[in-house]
Amino acid sequence: MSRVLSVQSHVAFGYVGGKAAVFPLQCLGYDVDVVNTVNFSNHSGYGRFGGSKADAEELTRIFGLMAQNGLLRSERLLTGYIPSGEALAAVKDMATKLREANPELIYLLDPVLGDAGQLYVAPSVIPVYRAMLPLSTIITPNWFEVEVLTDVKIENMSTLRKALKILHDEHKVPNIVMSSIPLKPWLKAALPSRSRTPPGSEPSDEDFLLCISSSQNQTGDDAPSIVHAGRVPYISGYFSGVGDLFSAFVVAHYKPTSPILQTNSKPLDTASGETALSRAVSAALTKTHAMLLLTNEYAQQLPEEERQPTDDEADEKEADRRVRRMKGRELRLIQGQDIIRGTQKATERRMDLWAGFWTS
């Protein structure tokens, strides 16, 4: 196996950022170099949180010392929440050097910007992320982050295609993964049948979230990308760190069969309909969803006061109400480590080829 350099937030209690990503990567056999962008007590969802942030100078010093010591040589790079444009620029410089030194570097860039229409980083971060996109191998934005990065409001298939095209062609991103997409009617109508119709006993389409992946087709510059889609049942309630865990699984399970930047490689296995990306995303969906089920099961059996539904007004009146809910919904990574390793099988969540994505 190889090394992963993980650059993201650290919390003392609970599982978000590095705490959600590092242990799974280690379980899967990777040596992980861990640079903490913040050192906080717990995640911000608790309402009360704090600690220290690493500024650009500190990050640059740590990366510089690692480089001087010949320790900046990981084959994979994973970056997540980075709070300021300046700190992100320090990460960009390091990623640029890693990429220059190793064209086969596998860099999963999670452009953490916000969700559901709301930014939760400084706006100065956005142009830096845009400038970093050509360094990436895979990006894992959510719907909102794709809109912010491309300046395209996604409202139908045509704008969805446009956004992916901008990321692939203008920003030179080889692989895009968007997960946790609500199944809007126009999206549902366009999906290939396998991704649209759930097996008999399962709930209706409204109860699913969609994941879309898109791999640049390396047979020619103008060839459209290879798109896959997969569904996972929606679990109500907000769980933190899920995206960080998902990205860790994607980077861990991404196994390109040929150097990724080489042209004329064959990214699509025509027999299975899979790409290196869709295979990694299928594994990541499978394990992330199994971990969410395990966490939700645990949360459901807690005493009632520890599993109050999300209600900002009630939280406002009683700060501890929010804290109790958050605590009960921390990912059960330790208890689910056999799922991470794959020694305990989970229901497979598969990405299927969306053959007509660019033409229908």
The stretch near a second copy (CB under 8 A) out of 65-73, 146-154, 183-191, 293-301 is 65-73
* Residue 97 is a binding residue for a second copy (CB under 8 A): no
Cα distances from 94 to residues 87, 129, 161, 253, in angstroms, run 11, 14, 32, 24
Q: Which of 9, 36, 136, 275 binds a second copy (CB under 8 A)?
A: 36
Tokens read off for 270: 């025509």
The stretch near a second copy (CB under 8 A) out of 9-17, 103-111, 296-304, 345-353 is 9-17
Q: Which of 70, 220, 259, 303 binds a second copy (CB under 8 A)?
A: 70
**CA–CA dist 171, 10 (Å, integer):** 29
Residue 320: how many other CB atoms lie within 10 Å: 13
Closer residue to a second copy (CB): 213 or 240: 240
* Residue 8 is a binding residue for a second copy (CB under 8 A): no
* Residue 61 is a binding residue for a second copy (CB under 8 A): yes
Closer residue to a second copy (CB): 19 or 161: 19
The stretch near a second copy (CB under 8 A) out of 47-55, 110-118, 154-162, 283-291 is 47-55
Q: Which of 184, 307, 321, 327 binds a second copy (CB under 8 A)?
A: 327
**3-state secondary structure at position 106:** strand
Residue type, 68: Q
* Residue 353 is a binding residue for a second copy (CB under 8 A): no
Quote the least distance from Cβ 110 to a second copy, whole Å: 19
* Strand order from edge to edge, sheet including 175-182: 51-53, 31-40, 3-11, 76-79, 106-109, 138-139, 175-182, 208-215, 226-233, 352-353
Closer residue to a second copy (CB): 4 or 164: 4
Quote the least distance from Cβ 51 to a second copy, whole Å: 5
Q: Which of 16, 20, 21, 35 binds a second copy (CB under 8 A)?
A: 35
* Residue 82 is a binding residue for a second copy (CB under 8 A): no
* Residue 239 is a binding residue for a second copy (CB under 8 A): no
The secondary structure of 288-328 as a DSSP string is HHHHHHHHHHHHHTS-GGGSPPP-HHHHHH-HHHHHHHHHH
Closer residue to a second copy (CB): 33 or 115: 33
User: Under 8 Å CB-to-CB from 55, ≥6 apart: which residues?
Assistant: 84, 86, 87
Quote the least distance from Cβ 36 to a second copy, whole Å: 6
Nearest to 288 by CA among 343, 328, 353, 233: 233
**CA–CA dist 19, 43 (Å, integer):** 11
* Residue 302 is a binding residue for a second copy (CB under 8 A): no
**CA–CA dist 138, 246 (Å, integer):** 13
Quote the least distance from Cβ 68 to a second copy, whole Å: 6
How many residues touch a second copy (CB under 8 A)?
Answer: 44
* Residue 298 is a binding residue for a second copy (CB under 8 A): no
**Geometric angle at alpha carbon 129, from 17 and 256, rounded to 5°:** 70
Quote the least distance from Cβ 199 to a second copy, whole Å: 35
273 and 352 Cβ atoms separated by less than 8 Å:
yes
* Residue 228 is a binding residue for a second copy (CB under 8 A): no
Give the DSSP letter of residue 93: H
CA 111 to chain centre: 9
Q: Which of 161, 324, 329, 350 binds a second copy (CB under 8 A)?
A: 324
* Residue 50 is a binding residue for a second copy (CB under 8 A): yes
The secondary structure of 204-259 as a DSSP string is -GGGEEEEEEEE--TT-TTSPPEEEEEEEE---S--TTHHHHHHHHHHHH---SS-
Site residues, a second copy (CB under 8 A): 1, 10, 12-14, 19, 23, 26-27, 29-31, 33-36, 39-42, 46, 48-52, 54, 58, 61-62, 65-66, 68-71, 320, 323-324, 327, 333-335, 337
